[in-house]
Amino acid sequence: MENKKPTEISSSKMFEGFNKRYKHYSPTLGCSMNFHIYFPPSSSPDQKFPVLYWLSGLTCTDENFIAKSGAQRVASTEGIALIVPDTSPRGLNVEGESDSWDFGVGAGFYLNATVEKWKNWQMYDYVVKELPQLLSENFPQLDTSRASITGHSMGGHGALTIYLKNLDKYKSVSAFSPIVNPINCPWGQKAFTNYLGDDKTAWEEYDATCLIAKYNDVAATILIDQGDDDKFLHENQLLPSKFDEACRAAKAPLLLRMQPGYDHSYFFIASFIDDHIRHHAQALNP
The CA distance from 276 to 70, in Å, is 12
Nearest to 23 by CA among 35, 31, 11: 35
Cα distances from 77 to residues 15, 149, 223, 239, in angstroms, run: 9, 18, 21, 34
Question: In sequence order, what are the residues at sequence separation of 6 or more whose Cβ sits closer than 8 angstroms to the Cβ of residue 218?
Answer: 164, 167, 252, 253
Cβ pair 276, 150 in contact under 8 A: yes
The CA distance from 89 to 79, in Å, is 30
Domains of the chain as residue ranges with CATH: 7-284 (3.40.50.1820)
DSSP state of 126: I
pLDDT tens for the chain, 286 residues: list them. Answer: 456 799 999 999 999 999 999 999 999 999 999 999 999 999 888 899 999 999 999 999 999 999 999 999 999 999 999 999 999 999 999 999 999 999 999 999 999 999 999 999 999 999 999 999 999 999 999 999 999 999 999 999 999 999 999 999 999 999 999 999 999 999 999 999 999 999 999 999 999 999 999 998 998 999 999 999 999 999 999 999 999 999 999 999 999 999 999 999 999 999 999 999 999 999 998 7
Nearest to 148 by CA among 161, 163, 134, 137: 163
Is residue 264 among the annotated active site residues?
Answer: yes
The CA distance from 156 to 251, in Å, is 21
The CA distance from 7 to 84, in Å, is 15
Kindly provide the b/e burial profile for residues 228-257, where b requires at least 16 CB atoms within 10 angstroms of the residue's own CB.
eebebbeeebbbbebbbebbeebebebebe
Which one is catalytic: 207, 225, 230, 276?
230
Which one is catalytic: 24, 152, 264, 280?
264
The CA distance from 86 to 65, in Å, is 10
Is residue 153 among the annotated active site residues?
Answer: yes
Cβ pair 211, 82 in contact under 8 A: no
Write down the pTM of the prediction.
0.97
In this structure, which amino acid lies at residue 189? Answer: Q
Secondary structure (DSSP) of 178-196: ----GGGSHHHHHHHHHHH
Which one is catalytic: 76, 148, 153, 177?
153
Cα distances from 144 to residues 56, 64, 276, in angstroms, run: 20, 23, 19
Cα distances from 27 to residues 5, 90, 94, 258, in angstroms, run: 11, 13, 17, 40
